[in-house]
Structure 1
Amino acid sequence: MHEATSLPDRPAPCCTEAEVERLVHDFYAAVREDALLGPVFNTHVHDWPAHLARLVDFWSSLLRGTQRYSGSPMSLHMAMPRLDEALFRRWLLLFGQTTATLGNPAMQQLANARATQIANRFWQRYQVEGRDGSGLVPLPISMMG
C-alpha cells in the first residue's frame, strides 16, 4: 500500500488542482528560504522542479483523491540522518502558515490535518528506528504547538 493511500479514504475534492499547486509551490518556497529547514531540503533535493511535481501529485492525491502519487515517502525520509523534533515542528508551522494564506478554509482544514498526521507518523517511525540517537519521545506534534 502506498503512503498516500494509507491515510483515510479518498476525500471529496475540497480544492482545485491550481490550489494544490499553489500550496505546494508556496510552501516549499518558504521551506527553501527557512533558516532551519532550508539547509536540510536544499542538501537532499537536487532537482526542485521534479520534486515539486511529485509533491503536487502527492498532495493532489491526499486533498483531491486523484491517486496520482505512487511511491514510498516514508522510506526516503527514514534514510535521512539527524532529523529532530524541531524540524518536524517547523515544517508544520510553515505548512499551517501557508494554508492560512490560500483563502480556502475547507482545504486548509483538511491539508493541516493530513500534514499533522504525516509529521506525527514520520517522527514516530523515525524515533522507533533510532535515527535521532535518543529514546522514543511520545510527545505528539500538532499544528497548535
Structure 2
Amino acid sequence: MPTPDLCTEEEVHRLVHGFYAQVRQDPELGPVFDAHIRDWDPHLARMVDFWSSALRGTARFRGTPMPKHVALPDLNEGLFQRWLALFGSTTAALGNPAMKARADLLAHRIADSLWYGWRISRGMDVAEGLA
C-alpha cells in the first residue's frame, strides 16, 4: 500500500527526473519517447504526480495511461525490458531500499499491464507476460 513515510516528495522527484534523463539518452528508448512527447516539463510533472500517488498515496494523479500507450506503434518486449532495467538502476541509486522494492514491483506490474494491453489491442497472443 502507498504510504507517506515510504519516501519523500524529493525522492519521488529524483526518481522521475533521474529515470527520464536516462530514458532520453538511451539509444533504444530515447527515440520512442522523443517521437511522442513534445513538451517534457508537463510530462515530468505528470509522472511525479503518478509516482507520488503510487508510492506515497497523495492521490494527485488522475488519468488513464493505457489508451496513450496502446496507440504507440512498433512496441516490443525488449523495449519494456529496457524500460524496467533503467527504472531499476534509477531506484537503486536513490538509496532507499523500501522505496526501491515498492517502486520496482509497481513498475513491473505497470509494464506487464501495458504490454498486455498493447498486444490485446492488436489481436496478438497474450498467453505470457514479460520475461
Same fold per superposition (TM over 0.5): yes
Give 1:55's aligned residue: 47
- Which structure 2 residues correspond to residues 32-51 of structure 1 after superposition, within 5 A? 32-51=24-43
3-state SS, counterpart of residue 44 of structure 1:
coil
Give 2:128's aligned residue: 139
CA offset digits 1:81-114 (Å, max 9, x no partner): 1111111110001000110100000000000000
Aligned mates of 1:117, 1:83 — CA distance in 2: 17
Identify which of 4, 9, 12 aligns with 1:17: 9
Q: Which 4+ runs in 1 deviate beyond 2 A?
A: 137-141
How far 1:138 moved relative to its partner? 3.2
Identify which of 18, 23, 30 aligns with 2:22: 30
**TM-score calculated relative to the size of structure 2:** 0.95
Q: Does residue 68 of structure 2 align to residue 76 of structure 1?
A: yes
How far 1:12 moved relative to its partner? 1.5
Aligned mates of 1:45, 1:108 — CA distance in 2: 26
**TM-score calculated relative to the size of structure 1:** 0.86
Q: Structure 2: any 5+ residue segments left out of the alignment?
A: none
Retained in 2: the 8 A contact 1:124–1:136?
Answer: no
How far 1:135 moved relative to its partner? 3.0
How far 1:60 moved relative to its partner? 0.4
3-state SS, counterpart of residue 33 of structure 2:
helix
- The number of aligned residues is 130
Residue identity (%): 55
Aligned mates of 2:126, 2:24 — CA distance in 1: 27
Give the partner amino acid of 1:17.
E
Structure number with the higher helix fraction is 2
Q: Structure 1: any 5+ residue segments left out of the alignment?
A: 1-9
Give 1:7's aligned residue: none
How far 1:79 moved relative to its partner? 0.9
- Which structure 2 residues correspond to residues 63-142 of structure 1 after superposition, within 5 A? 63-130=55-122, 135-141=124-130
